[in-house]
């Protein structure tokens, strides 16, 4: 490898030489690693494994819903599938994928040699496999795993939940601890380890969006920890936070949960904005339009996210004044979000566009995320939300935002940086197949869900009225197709990792800018050991 | 080559989509509306109009933005020789596209606010219905009229498990629908006995959560007689998908007649209870009625084979309580068990039904205790408590 | 490195503070509910006994309705003396509920009040209510439970009906219940 060659030439000082060796042996290399690139890779691989696991559960859900009647699973197991699918996708797939991207790219992008707290970094990753093993284990316990929805509303999750709830609570605590440690690491790295001359307003947008995301994580993950702790004590230790009999209130659970939950939604989309803001300029060969307004828009979305939580609870019976307040605040979020979309379009405008796979995913992201944004705006309107709430319209909305939004952006990022990570170009032919299959099937999967919701199909039901049969069959076919399409991605990634394919140059994308493209591909094990010069 | 392949791929997908649509249309003939219902109340009409307004605004904005984007995609591509411009900001444009959405939002917020305030107008209700959700049924009580009843799913287990053909209103049919008068302002007082449920009838644009320990209010004024169907909209456990709502709206005179008949029925039922006490069922009658009652009220949890669900719902087959202690068995069926999903059936079933179902459980699935339970026994067990 | 340490300490403190904030939301929510009447939380004015007798608004009549719910599996009855009454805002009203324990065991009940519509909840003032206390009843016993209330004179004009609901819960055993809030 090029790094080893560099050592052999003996130009570097002793310390440098010592550090440049990769630890030998699987255990020392991966389990004890403190290297941000190794940990980043671990995060990414883990999240992909979780994506396939959660996806398999989605396949069970769609298979059961293929036809009316109960065919494959009984309703209690169906509820476990929807719950664990949600938890795994949110906490196991999307969030770790972003943390993985942050680990890999942030030090490289800001000219830092590693993350600021490398040992904590190791710990925050290795907690996750344990957390998710526990979570998945509950499915095999007597009484089954969590079956109360990923939102675990009390009292369904307290008085009426299965015995495995304690394990669920513990697993969520672990995930929270992991996320919080990851977030602290990101903030300290960005604040303290920037190369000289890398001022805040020179930071790539991916770094900026992650900085804001990290603050959101620190603010809300502890609140989630509080919520699950209250569920735990209510269920096992006789407190009555959410039990009217003891002076508590079940609606209060929803306030606490969504105080975490809404910022959480932005935690899962802000890094996407950063990724798209890196990819669109590259393949437009044109600088990003409105860098400063992008930063301000991200910050204002994050700020507003603390003022809109109750729009998830319009039907709980709030006073009109509160309903109006939360409706207005929610509508307001569409302004900065709109600014972002306009900026991306303006970046493409009069550029010199090419359509490599990362760009294809990025364009699909813009279109489909905007559709999800529109349905979000519709959901914000309180009187109409009474009709949409808890129907498939909501399911369609958040899957547009999270699958064709967050997950498409992660795919785009993977294709964009795979050459840098592995040193090999991805198989373009397979990648294009992956893109077109995903794009078409994701729309067959989620677009008709809007109609199901408008026609009155509630979410989280294992069986439905006959009138919904046609559309559900189409949706299920879309679901299976989308699931299968992701296997193509698996092949592409494995090919790159095993070194099959074209060698990647240091900068495989003509229009790319940033420090990561100024180092060889694959990126050496240690980079920026001496701070780079910032132009 | 790859272009051709992509074309082929898209074509194949198109075919698959069309085929699946064709296949699906054969499954059921009843068509699904593709848009929100306009409903049968003034409010639901306003909600529909609001929905369409915002939908159209979103479509127009989307069209403009995507048109610009696809224009760039088509015309500003490198293989057409496009040279990249280097502009990267324009304060004027940025202010404009922040301000315009803001103005549009205000335009949306005004009608939305009006509709919301009209929805939550608490004045002058003519009739109050107490709606109480429990796992997994609705209970309706006509406030001040001494009429109350449970409303359960009428689709049978064998339809759900695909052993019998599903009826037209599969999963949207109940045994006792809620009956309401047309043209009167009806107030719903919604609450729950256990977990959170949500009472939703799309045709009225009413969706209100039923929170245990707290009451919520919703109002409606139905304009047209008819049958309106809805479902529970908040995940409430295993059979969340199986607790529909059916409302029959009748003109006032018909409604009054119906209500009077119900009051009469309630009185008759009390009288009938007396005759039941004197009645004695034989084994066959008890088993036959018991099985019916069991399948409707008990099988969802304890399963048709009496084996329950391990760790969630206890098995009745071979259970100690069911095979031995008669008094405890009657007690739990009549009064339920607090803190669990087992509810009190005293008010939901007649004495005869209670006796039959208890007797059925004691003799089905190889329990073979040979016990025949009589209504009088159940009544005696209840009275023991009342004394 | 020193600045790093300070930053990390600050971030950790934020985490701890936010964890605490999650719990602080519980009392904050109660305060919020009391102020806004959100979720039907009613006003409990135990001291202001005389407030009702002054300034009764005889020009206005408000309908007050009483509904009761018994929690699942509890064999009690709770019946209001009347289901419905007309009151003048400001007028002090005394009424009673009859509670009966139909079970074979001595039990303790706790009534949880809720007023609808939520906007009106703040104007419904209870000066004496059995829901302030736990209610022990021996098997088969009955008791009459007092309620004394008045509707505030500044009740918004749009509200003509107030509904007071009581949900009766069984407490596990006297003095053992750990009250969460």
pLDDT over 70 at B9, yes or no: no
**Closest residue on chain A to B239 (Cα):** A75
**Active-site residue identified among A38, A64, A114, A427:** A114
pLDDT in tens, B284-313: 888 888 888 888 888 888 888 888 887 778
Pairing of strands B147-151, B137-142: antiparallel
Task: Name the one residue in this structure whose structure tokens are 């009764």.
Answer: C56
Query: Are B6 and A244 an interchain contact pair (Cβ–Cβ within 8 Å)?
Result: no
Pick from A177-191, B182-196, C52-66: least confident: C52-66
Q: What pLDDT shows up at residue B255?
A: 95
> Percent of chain A beyond pLDDT 90?
88
For residue A69, the chain B residues in CB contact (below 8 A) are 159-162, 166
Q: What pLDDT shows up at residue B351?
A: 84
Domain boundaries defined on chain C: 38-180
Rounded mean pLDDT, A161-186: 95
* Residue B156 to residue A16: CA distance in whole angstroms: 74
Query: Are A248 and C181 an interchain contact pair (Cβ–Cβ within 8 Å)?
Result: yes
Q: Report if residue A242 sits inside a domain.
A: yes
The token duo for C99 is 């509670």
Q: What pLDDT shows up at residue C178?
A: 43
The token duo for C44 is 């409990």
Rounded mean pLDDT, A410-431: 96
- Return the residue in C39, C70, C73, C113 with the most chain B beta carbons within 10 A, the one to mutate for interface testing: C73
For residue B209, the chain C residues in CB contact (below 8 A) are none
Count CB pairs under 8 A between chains A and C. Answer: 118
pLDDT in tens, B368-379: 888 888 888 888
Chains touching C, CB cut-off 8 Å, 3+ pairs: A, B
Measure CB to CB from residue A285 to each of B50, B84, B212 and give the nearest one: B84
| Of residues A406, A294, A331, the one with CA closest to residue B58 | A331
Query: Are C75 and B335 an interchain contact pair (Cβ–Cβ within 8 Å)?
Result: yes
For residue C39, the chain A residues in CB contact (below 8 A) are 249, 251, 317
Query: Are B344 and C75 an interchain contact pair (Cβ–Cβ within 8 Å)?
Result: yes
Confidence of residue B157 (pLDDT cuts 50, 70, 90): confident
Q: Report phi then psi at C79, rounded to 5.
A: -125, 130
* B69 compared with B273, residue with greater pLDDT: B69
Residues composing chain C: 181
Rounded mean pLDDT, A467-479: 95
Q: Using omega within 30 degrees of 0 as the cis cutoff, is the peptide bond preceding C117 cis?
A: yes
Q: Are B193 and B212 in contact (CB under 8 A)?
A: yes
**Closest residue on chain B to A327 (Cα):** B109
CA distance A339 to chain B (A): 6
Q: Is A262 a catalytic site residue? A: yes
Query: Are C84 and B144 an interchain contact pair (Cβ–Cβ within 8 Å)?
Result: yes
Rounded mean pLDDT, A511-521: 92
Query: Are A222 and C15 an interchain contact pair (Cβ–Cβ within 8 Å)?
Result: yes
| Of residues A449, A472, A306, the one with CA closest to residue A391 | A449
Q: What pLDDT shows up at residue C45?
A: 53
* Residue B195 to residue B213: CA distance in whole angstroms: 10
CATH code (residue A96): 1.20.210.10
**Active-site residue identified among A150, A153, A433, A517:** A150
Rounded mean pLDDT, A55-70: 95
A352–B contact, CB cutoff 8 A: yes
Measure CB to CB from residue B77 to each of A316, A353, A451 and give the nearest one: A353
> Helix (H, G, I), strand (E, B), or coil: what is residue B305?
coil
**Active-site residue identified among A37, A311, A397, A434:** A311
For residue C71, the chain A residues in CB contact (below 8 A) are 245
Q: Is A21 a catalytic site residue? A: no
**Closest residue on chain A to B31 (Cα):** A467
| Of residues A62, A108, A106, the one with CA closest to residue A85 | A62
A7–B contact, CB cutoff 8 A: no
* B54 compared with B308, residue with greater pLDDT: B54
CA distance A252 to chain C (A): 7
Q: Report phi then psi at C93, rounded to 5.
A: -120, 135
Q: Report if residue A342 sits inside a domain.
A: no
Rounded mean pLDDT, A318-340: 92
* Residue C161 to residue B126: CA distance in whole angstroms: 11
Residue B151 to residues A317, B175, B233, B245, Cα–Cα distance (Å): 23, 6, 16, 8
Q: Are C68 and C74 in contact (CB under 8 A)?
A: no
> Which residues contact residue B214 at a Cβ distance below 8 angstroms, ignoring those fewer than 6 apart?
A244, A249, A250, A251, A317, B191, C39, C40, C114, C165, C167
* Residue A214 to residue C152: CA distance in whole angstroms: 48
CA distance C70 to chain B (A): 8
> Which residues contact residue B173 at a Cβ distance below 8 angstroms, ignoring those fewer than 6 apart?
B153, B154, B155, B167, B229, B244, B246
Query: Are B143 and C159 an interchain contact pair (Cβ–Cβ within 8 Å)?
Result: no
pLDDT in tens, C92-127: 888 889 988 887 778 888 888 888 887 788 888 888
Query: Are A351 and B72 an interchain contact pair (Cβ–Cβ within 8 Å)?
Result: yes
Q: Which domain holds residue A94?
A: 33-263
* Residue B234 to residue B134: CA distance in whole angstroms: 12
> Which residues contact residue B86 at a Cβ distance below 8 angstroms, ignoring those fewer than 6 apart?
A286, A287
The token duo for A205 is 């947008």
Rounded mean pLDDT, B258-281: 83
Total domains in chain A come to: 1
> Helix (H, G, I), strand (E, B), or coil: what is residue B197?
strand
Q: What pLDDT shows up at residue B28?
A: 46
Helix H or strand E encompassing C136: strand C135-137
* Residue A456 to residue A466: CA distance in whole angstroms: 12
pLDDT in tens, B312-355: 788 888 888 888 888 888 888 888 876 677 888 887 888 888 88
> Which residues contact residue B39 at a Cβ distance below 8 angstroms, ignoring those fewer than 6 apart?
B45, B47, B48, B202, B203, B204, B205
**Closest residue on chain A to B88 (Cα):** A289
DSSP annotation of B318: T
CA distance C66 to chain B (A): 10
CA distance C142 to chain A (A): 21
Confidence of residue A11 (pLDDT cuts 50, 70, 90): very low
Most confident of the following: B15-24, B174-183, B268-277: B174-183
Query: Are B122 and C73 an interchain contact pair (Cβ–Cβ within 8 Å)?
Result: no
pLDDT over 70 at A322, yes or no: yes
Measure CB to CB from residue A219 to each of C3, C18, C119 and give the nearest one: C18
* Residue B317 to residue B306: CA distance in whole angstroms: 5
Rounded mean pLDDT, A85-103: 96
Task: Match domain C38-180 to its CATH number in 3.40.50.970, 1.10.3720.10, 3.40.50.300, 2.60.370.10.
Answer: 2.60.370.10
Query: Are C26 and A241 an interchain contact pair (Cβ–Cβ within 8 Å)?
Result: yes
Question: Which residues from B are below 8 Å from C when comparing CB atoms?
Answer: 120-125, 128, 130, 132, 134, 143-144, 187, 189, 191, 193-194, 211-217, 335-340, 342-344, 384-387
Rounded mean pLDDT, A55-72: 95
Query: Are A339 and B98 an interchain contact pair (Cβ–Cβ within 8 Å)?
Result: yes
* Residue C15 to residue A191: CA distance in whole angstroms: 18
Rounded mean pLDDT, A113-121: 94
So what's the ipTM on this one? 0.90
For residue B61, the chain A residues in CB contact (below 8 A) are 374
A432–B contact, CB cutoff 8 A: yes
The token duo for A312 is 């998830």
The token duo for A218 is 């620190």
**Closest residue on chain B to C112 (Cα):** B213
* Residue A46 to residue A48: CA distance in whole angstroms: 5
pLDDT over 70 at C55, yes or no: yes
Q: Report phi then psi at C166, rounded to 5.
A: -120, 130
Q: Are C89 and C60 in contact (CB under 8 A)?
A: yes
The token duo for B230 is 């809805």
Q: Is A450 a catalytic site residue? A: no
Query: Are C169 and B213 an interchain contact pair (Cβ–Cβ within 8 Å)?
Result: yes
Confidence of residue C176 (pLDDT cuts 50, 70, 90): very low
Pick from A50-59, A354-363, B108-117, B311-320: least confident: B311-320
DSSP string, B137-161: EEEEEETTTTEEEEE-B-S-HHHHT
Q: Report if residue A171 sits inside a domain.
A: yes
Helix H or strand E encompassing C86: strand C84-87
Question: Whole-model pTM?
Answer: 0.88
Instruction: Please report the sign of the dihedral spanned by the C-alpha atoms of residue A37, residue A39, residue A44, residue A48.
Output: positive
Pick from A507-516, B79-88, B204-213: least confident: B79-88
Provide the β-strand partners of residue A438.
none
Q: Is A340 a catalytic site residue? A: yes
Q: What pLDDT shows up at residue C36?
A: 67
**Active-site residue identified among A36, A340, A526, A528:** A340
Measure CB to CB from residue C39 to each of A184, A233, A251 and give the nearest one: A251
The token duo for B96 is 């404009």
- At residue A100's C-alpha, the angle toward residues A98 and A102, to 5°, is 70
Query: Are A353 and B86 an interchain contact pair (Cβ–Cβ within 8 Å)?
Result: no
* Residue C106 to residue C137: CA distance in whole angstroms: 6
* A186 compared with B313, residue with greater pLDDT: A186
Helix H or strand E encompassing A195: none
Q: What pLDDT shows up at residue A457?
A: 95
Chain A residues 353-372 within an 8 A CB cutoff of chain B: 353-355, 363, 366-367, 370-371
Q: Report phi then psi at B240, rounded to 5.
A: -55, -35
Query: Are C67 and B124 an interchain contact pair (Cβ–Cβ within 8 Å)?
Result: no
> Helix (H, G, I), strand (E, B), or coil: what is residue A54?
helix
Chain A residues 457-486 within an 8 A CB cutoff of chain B: 458-471, 473-474, 477, 481
């Amino acid at each position: 490898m090029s790094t080893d060659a560099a050592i052999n030439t003996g130009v570097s000082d002793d310390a440098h030489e010592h550090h440049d060796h990769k630890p030998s042996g699987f255990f020392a290399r991966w389990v004890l690693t403190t290297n941000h690139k190794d940990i980043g890779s671990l995060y990414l691989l883990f999240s992909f494994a979780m994506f396939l696991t959660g996806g398999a559960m989605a396949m069970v859900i769609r298979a059961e819903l293929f036809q009316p009647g109960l065919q494959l699973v009984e309703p209690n197991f169906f509820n476990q599938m929807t719950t664990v699918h949600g938890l795994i996708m949110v906490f196991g797939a999307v969030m770790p994928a972003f943390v993985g991207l942050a680990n890999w790219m942030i030090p490289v992008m800001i000219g830092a040699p590693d993350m600021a707290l490398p040992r904590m970094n190791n710990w925050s990753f290795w907690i996750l496999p344990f957390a998710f093993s526990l979570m998945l284990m509950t499915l095999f316990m007597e009484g089954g795993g969590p079956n109360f929805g990923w939102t675990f509303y009390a009292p369904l999750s307290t008085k009426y939940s299965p015995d495995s709830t304690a394990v669920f609570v513990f697993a969520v605590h672990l995930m929270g601890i992991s996320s919080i440690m990851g977030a602290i690491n990101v903030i300290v790295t960005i604040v303290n380890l920037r190369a000289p001359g890398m001022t805040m307003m020179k930071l790539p947008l991916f770094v900026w969006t992650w900085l804001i995301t990290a603050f959101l994580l620190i603010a809300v993950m502890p609140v989630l920890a509080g919520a699950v702790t209250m569920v735990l004590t209510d269920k096992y230790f006789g407190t009555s936070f959410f039990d009217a009999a003891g002076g508590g209130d079940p609606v209060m659970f929803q306030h606490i949960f969504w105080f975490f939950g809404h910022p959480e939604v932005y935690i899962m989309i802000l890094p996407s904005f950063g990724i798209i803001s890196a990819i669109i300029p590259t393949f437009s060969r044109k600088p990003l339009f409105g860098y400063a307004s992008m930063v301000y828009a991200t910050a204002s979305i994050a700020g507003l996210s603390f003022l809109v939580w109750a729009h998830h609870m319009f039907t709980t019976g709030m006073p009109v004044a509160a309903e109006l307040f939360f409706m207005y605040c929610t509508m307001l979020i569409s302004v900065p979000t709109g600014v972002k979309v306009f900026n991306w379009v303006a970046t493409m405008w009069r550029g010199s566009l090419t359509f490599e796979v990362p760009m294809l995913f990025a364009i699909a992201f813009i279109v489909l995320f905007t559709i999800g944004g529109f349905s979000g705006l519709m959901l914000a309107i309180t009187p109409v939300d009474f009709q949409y709430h808890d129907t498939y319209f909501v399911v369609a909305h958040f899957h547009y935002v999270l699958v064709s939004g967050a997950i498409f952006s992660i795919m785009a990022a993977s294709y964009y940086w795979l050459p840098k990570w592995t040193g090999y170009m991805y198989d373009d032919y397979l990648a294009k197949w992956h893109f077109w299959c995903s794009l078409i099937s994701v729309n067959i999967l989620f677009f008709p869900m809007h109609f199901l919701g408008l026609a009155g199909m509630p979410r989280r039901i294992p069986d439905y009225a006959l009138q919904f049969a046609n559309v559900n069959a189409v949706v299920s076919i879309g679901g299976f197709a989308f699931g299968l399409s992701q296997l193509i991605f698996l092949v592409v990634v494995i090919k790159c990792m095993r070194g099959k394919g074209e060698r990647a140059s240091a900068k495989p994308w003509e229009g790319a800018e940033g420090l990561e493209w100024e180092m060889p591909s694959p990126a050496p094990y240690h980079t920026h050991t001496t701070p780079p010069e910032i132009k | 080559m790859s272009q051709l392949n992509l074309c082929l791929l898209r074509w194949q997908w198109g075919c698959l989509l069309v085929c699946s649509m064709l296949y699906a249309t054969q499954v059921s003939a009843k068509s699904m509306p593709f848009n929100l219902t306009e409903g049968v109340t003034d409010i639901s009409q306003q909600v529909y109009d609001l929905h369409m307004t915002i939908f159209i605004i979103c479509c127009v904005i989307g069209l403009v933005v995507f048109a610009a984007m696809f224009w760039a995609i088509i015309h500003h591509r490198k293989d057409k020789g496009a040279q990249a411009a280097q502009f990267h900001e324009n304060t004027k444009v940025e202010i404009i596209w922040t301000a315009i959405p803001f103005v549009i939002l205000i335009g949306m917020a005004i009608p939305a606010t009006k509709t919301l305030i009209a929805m939550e107008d608490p004045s002058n209700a003519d009739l109050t219905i107490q709606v109480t959700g429990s796992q997994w049924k609705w209970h309706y009580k006509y406030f001040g009229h001494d009429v109350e009843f449970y409303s359960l799913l009428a689709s049978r287990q064998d339809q759900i498990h695909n052993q019998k053909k599903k009826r037209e209103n599969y999963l949207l049919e109940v045994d006792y629908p809620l009956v309401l008068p047309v043209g009167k302002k009806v107030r719903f007082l919604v609450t729950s006995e256990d977990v959170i449920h949500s009472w939703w009838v799309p045709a009225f644009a009413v969706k209100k959560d039923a929170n245990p320990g707290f009451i919520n209010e919703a109002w409606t004024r139905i304009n047209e007689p008819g049958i309106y169907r809805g479902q529970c909209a908040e995940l409430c456990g295993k059979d969340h998908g199986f607790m529909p709502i059916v409302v029959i709206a009748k003109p006032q005179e018909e409604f009054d007649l119906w209500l009077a008949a119900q009051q009469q029925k309630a009185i008759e039922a009390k009288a009938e209870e007396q005759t039941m006490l004197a009645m004695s069922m034989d084994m066959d009658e008890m088993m036959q009625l018991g099985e019916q009652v069991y399948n409707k009220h008990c099988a969802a949890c304890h399963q048709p084979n009496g084996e329950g669900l391990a760790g969630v719902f206890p098995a009745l087959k071979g259970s100690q309580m069911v095979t031995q202690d008669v008094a405890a068995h009657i007690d739990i069926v009549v009064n339920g068990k607090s803190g669990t999903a087992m509810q009190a059936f005293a008010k939901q079933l007649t004495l005869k039904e209670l006796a039959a179902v208890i007797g059925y459980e004691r003799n089905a699935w190889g329990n073979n205790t040979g016990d025949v339970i009589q209504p009088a026994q159940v009544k005696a067990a209840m009275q023991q408590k009342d004394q | 490195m020193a600045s790093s340490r300070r930053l990390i300490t600050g971030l950790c403190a934020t985490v701890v503070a936010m964890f605490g904030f999650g719990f602080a939301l519980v009392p904050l929510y109660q305060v919020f509910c009391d102020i806004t009447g959100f979720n039907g939380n009613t006003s409990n004015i135990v001291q202001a006994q005389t407030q009702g007798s002054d300034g009764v608004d005889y020009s206005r009549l408000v309908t007050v309705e009483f509904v009761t719910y018994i929690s699942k599996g509890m064999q009690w009855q709770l019946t209001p003396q009347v289901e419905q009454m007309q009151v003048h805002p400001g007028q002090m009203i005394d009424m009673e509920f009859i509670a009966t324990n139909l079970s074979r065991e001595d039990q303790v009940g706790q009534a949880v009040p809720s007023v609808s519509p939520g906007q009106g909840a703040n104007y419904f003032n209870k000066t004496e209510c059995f829901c302030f206390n736990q209610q022990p009843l021996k098997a088969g016993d009955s008791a009459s439970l007092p309620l004394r209330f008045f509707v505030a004179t500044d009740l918004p004009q749009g509200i003509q009906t107030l509904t007071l609901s009581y949900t009766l819960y069984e407490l596990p055993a006297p003095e053992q219940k750990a009250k969460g809030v």
